[in-house]
Structure 1
């Protein structure tokens, strides 16, 4: 057991399944006292029971919902030492994605993090300690073909996490951005056809692998958590050879277009 989470009060949003559940299980095994949040009250209760934690079902994105979650977590834990902003949504396809889907994704994938940080970071700065963990995506470092909503909101999630780290690291606030590619979750299973194939091209991992990668990053005090190490190479290529990288992504898009035409 590492010392980073032993005895700490931890909140995991979207903790009822997938990566959220894996985080709750792994951090509880590290000695954390875990509050499990999920829109699915039964799923939250099930995971809380599994880890000896406390379920706080409900919205973790809206301003009121985040405030209620943090207040309930503080009432149960005393203090929130670690916040895992894990809840996320994947909506829409292409330029025709409706406004409502954009607004939902911006709320859940980005503004939920901002709202939680507003409530937690000032206290962490005063205490000189706190940890904010964002479940983003490799899409937040690269892109997501076919889905501008997911690509843009996950980029924004990474950008906000970067800003938090740059602003508060010297005052004891540690920030981590988890950026996997394909992970065997319901979101991946609900992706269809060629897109699912693309997300799995470097082998889809289990949610437990993502949780394990987080522990490694925490031990090394690393901001980026890359369960798929090859993402670092893709990210480097994007930064140093953007036109070549974009040309390669466009070729992948053409392959997706052709596959959809054949379907």
Structure 2
């Protein structure tokens, strides 16, 4: 897809990967609605873009797991920028940790990390089928291909995000709808760093599982790779190339992979004590 001249919505656009995507899109001549639960953060990113790319960005705050909020965001983008042709389901949460995670936190994790994607697709796909195409980009995680030591809700919800993106691509790929799924490891974001800044038991182990597995990339590096992958309509976007090796090792010998993950977990827990 040639993205120049298109209209995009980026959820979780107030910081991290989302903000970097919004900036990169604007630089590529894409008009962007920056969406975030933190409305002032979304406003700040949109204002920054407008300073260098006038007329290229608007902002809207709200909970993107709420279907009414999603409807309003897509309608606002359509009214102010034009019909939404690209949707980045990028908002995410690290809510919850182990078996003691409450049902309420499980619901938050699944709502934000999975159902927000489903609800957005439910709105946009019928419109894209009528108009002749669109592009859905889901931000999952390497945890969605592998696992996340320490956090059951994150691991499970990111696996589900990958699964939904796969299904969406298989089901609608022949009808003009492109789908990509972003699965990075460590990226320098507040979501990653809050694991080191909280006193929640096990949070630092979960964060170190990410930072010790590979290089921690800058959000702008990830955004550049996403846009490059979209040019080829590539499904799986892996900013950390080693993730593909990890994934292949997992599939080739599942028991050995699980044993290795247990060993890695023991190392992380021992260093945390």
Q: Same fold (TM over 0.5)?
A: yes
Contact 2:150 2:205 in 1 (8 A): no
Contact 1:34 1:51 in 2 (8 A): no
Query: Which residue does 2:162 correspond to in 1?
Result: 158
Query: Which residue does 1:79 correspond to in 2?
Result: 83
Alignment of 1:1-263 (within 5 A): 4-52=2-50, 53-192=57-196, 193-201=204-212, 202-260=214-272, 262=273
CA distance in 2 between partners of 1:156 and 1:196 (Å): 21
SS in 1 for 2:256: helix
CA distance in 1 between partners of 2:28 and 2:241 (Å): 24
SS in 2 for 1:36: strand
User: Structure 2: which 5+ residue stretches go unaligned?
Assistant: 51-56, 197-203
Q: CA deviation at 1:219?
A: 2.1
Q: Would you identify which runs of 4 or more consecutive aligned residues in structure 1 move more than 6 Å? A: none
SS in 1 for 2:186: coil
CA distance in 1 between partners of 2:99 and 2:208 (Å): 22
Contact 2:144 2:183 in 1 (8 A): yes
Q: CA deviation at 1:221?
A: 2.1
TM-score by length of 2: 0.92
CA distance in 2 between partners of 1:250 and 1:122 (Å): 44
CA distance in 1 between partners of 2:108 and 2:208 (Å): 26
User: Structure 1: which 5+ residue stretches go unaligned?
Assistant: none
TM-score by length of 1: 0.95
SS in 2 for 1:6: coil
CA distance in 1 between partners of 2:95 and 2:267 (Å): 22
CA distance in 2 between partners of 1:44 and 1:181 (Å): 24
Question: How large is the Cα RMSD of the aligned pairs?
Answer: 1.2
How many residues of Structure 1 are paired with residues of Structure 2 in the alignment? 259
CA distance in 1 between partners of 2:208 and 2:269 (Å): 13
Q: CA deviation at 1:32?
A: 0.2
